[in-house]
Amino acid sequence: MRLPRTDAVLVQAAIAGALSFAHLHDLANAAGQHGWKAWAYPVSVDLLLVAAWHRMRVLRATGSPARAAWTWFAIALAASLGANVATAGLLDLDHVPAWLRILVAGWPALAFFGGTLLAHTATTTHPAEPEPELPLYEPEIAPPPAPVAEPAPEAVEAPEPVPALPAAPTPAIPTVAVPAALVEHARKIADEHRTRTGSPIDSATLRVRLGVPPQFADAIAAQLA
């Protein structure tokens, strides 16, 4: 069984929250708020701090002004930070001054007012700007052109026939002397080709098989025909 991985950030946040919670409780208890009231003060401060931060993120995401959320976030942070500093030995908790008792006693009304404002702050969204409507383009239809009378075609004389040029004489195929031994070897190759394929061998195949020039292949093919 794999144990869940511990996140150092969450552990640090839990430790810091517990210490701040204890400092706020001690300060409220020293200011005359005993019993469950002393425990309610740190809950109120931390909830206002979290609510202001969440509201600030929502307002910034929608492009709305977040000055009010920033203000209440700063007030809650100052209350939490002030309690941490006051309980660090800078303040005699057995003889709390009157102004601090007044601040602690007035905190519930201040926190209620801030939470109400945060909950009822309207979130405005910026609508997308409508695209400008383009005027409809109506193409102008030009009237059809008036028919133009075409002139009568002039009589064209037929061209005189061009006499045909005499055909060029076909060049005579030069006679190539082929050795008899080469002809006999070519005949064996032709017979083997006919036996294998059933068709007579052509001059191109014969030239490839014998490795001779095209003139020799044509002359040998003429003798084998």
Distance between CA atoms of 14 and 10, rounded to whole angstroms? 6
Same domain? For 186 and 111 the reply is no
The pLDDT tens digits for 176-225 are 677 777 778 888 888 888 888 888 878 788 778 777 778 777 777 777 76
Distance between CA atoms of 7 and 119, rounded to whole angstroms? 31
In a domain, 155, yes or no: no
Q: Using CB atoms within 10 Å of the CB of residue 110, give its burial: 0 to 12 exposed, 13 to 18 middle, 19+ buried.
A: middle
Residue 132 has what pLDDT? 55
In a domain, 21, yes or no: yes
Residue 5 has what pLDDT? 63
In the chain, the number of structural domains is 2
In a domain, 156, yes or no: no
In a domain, 29, yes or no: yes
pTM exceeds 0.85, yes or no: no
Same domain? For 184 and 101 the reply is no
Residue 87 DSSP class: I
Positions in the chain short of pLDDT 50: 127-128, 171-173
Distance between CA atoms of 206 and 220, rounded to whole angstroms? 9
**Which residue range forms the structural domain that includes residue 106?**
8-119
